[in-house]
Structure 1
Amino acid sequence: MSFAPGPADPPGTSRSTSATIQPNILRYLVVVADGRGIDLRPLLKQVGLDETVMRSAALRVSYRQGSAVIRRALELTRDERLGLEVGAAQHLTAWGLLGFALMADDTLRHAIETGVKYQNLSGAMVVWSAGVSEEDGAFVLRADLPDPGMDPAVAGFLVEEGLASVVTLSRLAVGPAFAPRVVEFSCPPPRQSELYGALFSCPVRFGAPADLVVIDPAWARARMPGRDPVTYASTLEMLDAQMASRRDQQDLLEVLEISVAQSLPVIPSFGEQARRHATSERTLRRRLADCGTTYEALAEGVRRERVEQLLLRRELTLRDIARRAGFSDERALRRAVRRWHGTSPVHLREQMLQGARHTE
């Protein structure tokens, strides 16, 4: 299915895995896990997200934190289709101001285009694009991964959660009769393919070139029941202000992460980073707090990513990896990997190498 990207594809909607996001997916993941008698709160606390922090409207989590929680939840539930259930559990109210704007929008298509434009404020962990099919004018919404090298299990969860949430939220907006024309997944056919048809109420194809939802023009033109042009316009003004602030925050995080990554195995002190940015430590600390993080958490995230990259290199010993990632010795490396992944470096390496073989 090919489509011509429309005005909903503005520059800057792509994101890197260094970005921070609203934890909407994790909040719904906790709810779904609770329903199965599985408590994910100890895991959230392990990655620095205790219950008090998770209630904060200003909270932002990193892709590393989000991916770690999702990976562990998949292991605990042993449910490969967990993403479908998390997506089906969602509500527009979880998107805050953006959700309010979508409810006040004119048509379903325009609401989806608005969601794509402001996706960096929604908590999405995939990259959305939208456009019109060149064949018959159907409206197409496509989900891409921010990193094609992502853990395959986490990647599958994110795509399924994303497409399921789009259909669920569309039904909440324009009525329970809504159904796409077709939903396409790039993954091979799963063992429980009947679950997809039951959720989407339309043909579902696997092994497709991309992950997407196709919506008939009649549904795309469906009017939003809460449409209000004045409310919509005033809400967009606030969203634009949030986007400008978000870009400034993301620029800061990316610059700091690059600085730490280039300096490893030595991690620059916080004072050194403040001097490099010609600012005071107090101001830099406040700016990071506005991003929902700290320099210590950012540096640890970079070091964690470096360890994971080095573990994929079979020729490196644990001593080599510890030295290159800035750990004092192998024991410090083992403690860090246990804290991050709940397992040993040797076991983690085996898992990662096995996952890499499956994607080849």
Structure 2
Amino acid sequence: MVLSVDSRLNDAVIPPCVLAGLVEIGQREGLEVTGWCAGTGVTPAQLVTSESIKVSFRQAATILRRAVRAMPGRPLGMEIGRRDVLLTYGILGVAMQSCATGAEALVVGLELQLAAGSLIDVNAEVIGAELVLSLHERAPEPELVTFLCEDVFCSTLLLVRSVFGADTSPKYIELVYPQPTYERQYRYFFGCPVRFDGYANRMVFDSSVLTDTLPTHHEPTRAVAVEACRRLLDLDGPRPDIIVAIEALLSQNLRQPVTMAEVAKHLHVTERTLRRQLTDAGESFSAVRNRVRERRATFLLRKSTMTVDAISREVGFTDAREFRRAYIRWTGNIPTHQRRKS
């Protein structure tokens, strides 16, 4: 299924927090979670354990769709959204909790919302005495809208309650989809009227929350957490998901370099398709592989005491002289130049 011609849907900018939660649920229940990731370029292990990997909307939607189909008829979005605030919002939650007022927290949350890993966009506006948080799909995903709304609204309310108290509730919630069989769980968790088959997906609070002082305010923590969120969202700019997937795979196999054919097999595409995707991204397989090797070699030269010969083997060269020549091509300097710089 083609989601959109919008190339932004293929940019790997989304931390896999939500996906990791689903994979962990599936693993606990003995489901075959590997199939959820087939053809996406990422693995369940990467989603759960990697601190650096990010995915595109296309990748995430594919995995989410398969997970929802594997566990039908249950409040999966609520299960993910009701986890601990650090699991649902991560470092963004810390940043928002540390703000001075509700209004400042809202500005931070809206600016850096991608850091929470959601696949649906949050907008906010004040209408009279109400603060209206509305959700908007990035691409039409009828199978996922229930999950996405449950996740964001549950995690948002959890964050609000972590600051203002467990008895805090919205004034009401409106949702575009039909009432699910577990509707009672909505009313129990949200503690407010919930309207289904509505015209919009929105959660409404009293606007006074914007002027309230946050008891968890701590400016140094806020500054550090905001900067961490910005780093998480990649200051170098988004990259196509196929490039991120290939780099991740190559990084895991540097000592015994994999071929382009092996990468294509791992990604469940033909070698011809992989070459075309690389061309579309303005890349070549050798350029990506060399970048991964150079990045790892430079790190080891600067941060370790390994010999140049050992580093050459670490990044997949059997001949240290070949590594030295390659490093000069990549950087314009001999390997020991980096060691002197450190």
TM-score bracket for this pair, using the shorter chain length: 0.5 to 0.7
Within 2, Cα distance between the matches of 1:41 and 1:276?
Answer: 32
1:156-201 deviation line (CA, Å, top 9, x unaligned): 2112211121112221232111101111111133343222111210
| Counterparts of residues 150-169 of structure 1 (less than 5 Å) | 150=141, 152-169=142-159
Distance 1:244 1:50 in 2: 22
Corresponding residue to 1:178 among 160, 168, 193: 168
In structure 1, the residue matched to 2:105 is: 111
User: Structure 1: how far apart are the matches of 2:181 and 2:278?
Assistant: 53
Whether 1:128 aligns to 2:142 is no
Residue aligned with 1:199, SS: helix
* TM-score (ref. length: structure 2): 0.64
Asked if residue 145 in structure 1 is aligned to residue 137 in structure 2, the reply is yes
Aligned CA distance change for structure 1 residues 33 and 89 (closer, same or farther; 3 Å): farther
| Distance (Å, rounded) in 2 between the aligned partners of 1:30 and 1:125 | 16
2:188 to 194, 198, 202: 198
**Which of 214, 218, 238 is the equivalent residue of 1:224?**
214
CA distance in 1, matches of 2:221, 2:146: 36
What is the correspondence of 1:66-85 to structure 2 with a 5 Å cutoff?
66-85=60-79
Matched, 1:214 2:207: no
CA RMSD, 1 decimal: 3.8
Is the Cα–Cα contact under 8 Å of residues 174 and 223 in structure 1 kept in the other structure? Answer: no
Secondary structure at 1:153 match in 2: coil
Q: Which segments of 5 or more consecutive residues in structure 2 lack a partner in the other structure?
A: 1-5, 245-271, 297-342
Question: What is the number of residues matched between the two proteins?
Answer: 262
Indicate if the aligned counterparts of 1:271 and 1:281 stay in contact, CA closer than 8 A: no
Displacement after TM superposition at 1:127 (Å)? 0.9
Q: Is the 8 A contact 1:30 1:40 kept in 2?
A: no
Contact 1:108 1:224 in 2 (8 A): yes
Per the TM alignment, residue 280 of structure 1 is displaced from its structure 2 partner at its CA by 7.9
Which letter maps to 2:135? A
Q: Among all aligned residue pairs of Structure 1 and Structure 2, give the percentage whose two residues are the same amino acid.
A: 24
Q: Which amino acid aligns with 1:165?
A: S
Deviation of 1:16 after TM superposition, in Å, equals 4.1
Alpha-carbon distance in structure 2 between the residues aligned to 1:195 and 1:230: 38
Q: 1:125 to 1:285 in 2, by over 3 A?
A: farther
Q: Pick closer, same or farther for the CA change 1:285–1:39 going to 2, 3 Å.
A: farther
**Cα gap change, 1:81/1:16 in structure 2, threshold over 3 Å: closer, same or farther?**
farther
Could you state the TM-score of these two structures normalised by the residue count of structure 1?
0.61
Give the alignment of 1:318-337 within 5 angstroms. Answer: none
| Larger Rg, first or second structure (1 or 2) | 2
Alignment of 1:93-112 (within 5 A): 95-112=89-106
Give the whole-Å Cα distance in 1 for the aligned partners of 2:72 and 2:241.
Answer: 38
